[in-house]
Every structure is written in C-alpha cells, then in structure tokens.
Amino acid sequence: MATYKKGFKKQNTEMLLLKTIVVVIVSVILLVAIAFVYNAVTKWQDYKSYDQVENYADVFQMKDDADVELGDYVIYVYSDTCLSCKENKNDILRLGNKLDENIFFLLNSATLTTKDSENNTLPAYTSFLETIGKDQIPTPMLVVVVNGNFEEIHVGPTAVINTLTSIEEGTYEPFNE
C-alpha cells in the first residue's frame, strides 16, 4: 500500500462509506439509550408524583402546604380500570406537569371509598355527584374549581387535554376573569 507524505493511507470510497455507516449506527444507539434513561428517571410520568385527593370531602376545599385554601385549580379524575385513562396518561400528565404545583391534582376514583362500614353511601360522595351533576363518576374527567367554587367538568380525554392545554397557554377563560 502506498503511503503519502503525511503518513496516511489513501482511503477508498467503500471504507469511507463503512465508517459513515458505523458512526450513524452508533449515534442512533446512543440517542435511544439517552431516551431510555430520560424516560426511566422522569417523575412526571407517574401518578404518585402528583398531589392526590384523598377523599371526596376535600375536592372543593383544596389547600396548599401552608393550609391556605386554594382559589383556582383542577382535579383530574381517573381510574385504574379506565382504558381511556391509561391510553392518555402520558399526554395528560405531561400537561399537568407544566402547570403550577397548586393547580393540578389527581383523584383515583377506583381507590376512594364511597360507602361507610354499614354500606351506606358517604354524604361527601353524594354531595360531589350532585355538585358535578352526575349520578356516577365518569372517567377521565377534569373538575374545574374557580375562586374556591365548582365551575365545570370536562369529560373524555379530548376535552381534558384541550382544557389543560388552554390552562397551560393562559387562555382558559374561567382562570382569567
């Protein structure tokens, strides 16, 4: 093989193409690894990373860490058994993560108690259903509270995502009054 003044061997196009392919493959593998690590360490993708409403009596009386009642906030109502909730979980939590800490809360309707020890319906549960105008809890649902009072609900993944997007963009009318 011929050596040149600089001591480098002349490369043919096949060798150059091979090196380019190797660099591209290594780059893709590296990007996939970075995406995997990011996904594994990102907390916003887990329901446990958000403040949970623990009973129906608290829904319209949410407080911050200093025990001061909050004015404007939303509660995303989901269920562990809801297929639509599972399918849209990442989109909804991604939007919720972008909102202020004291504005986005979660309520898992599958885990909250609706009956007392004598199998009577809890008054707080009945009151919640009456307030939202439903006879049962639809999921997914977004409950909107403005100035400490019930404003409206949005039922279904599209309505929930659109409302959260509007809140994030600052264009949600009830929060801008």
How do the pLDDT tens digits run along the chain, 177 residues long?
555 566 566 667 888 888 899 999 999 999 998 888 876 666 667 788 888 888 888 888 888 888 888 889 999 999 999 999 999 999 999 999 888 778 999 999 888 888 888 877 888 889 999 999 998 999 999 999 998 899 999 999 999 999 999 999 989 998 887
Domain parsing of the chain, residue ranges:
1-41, 49-176
Class of domain 49-176: alpha beta
Confidence (pTM): 0.74
d(CA 165, CA 92): 9
Q: What pLDDT is stored for residue 47 in this prediction?
A: 83
Q: What pLDDT is stored for residue 157 in this prediction?
A: 95
CA atoms within 13 A on the CB side of 47: 17
Q: What pLDDT is stored for residue 4 in this prediction?
A: 58
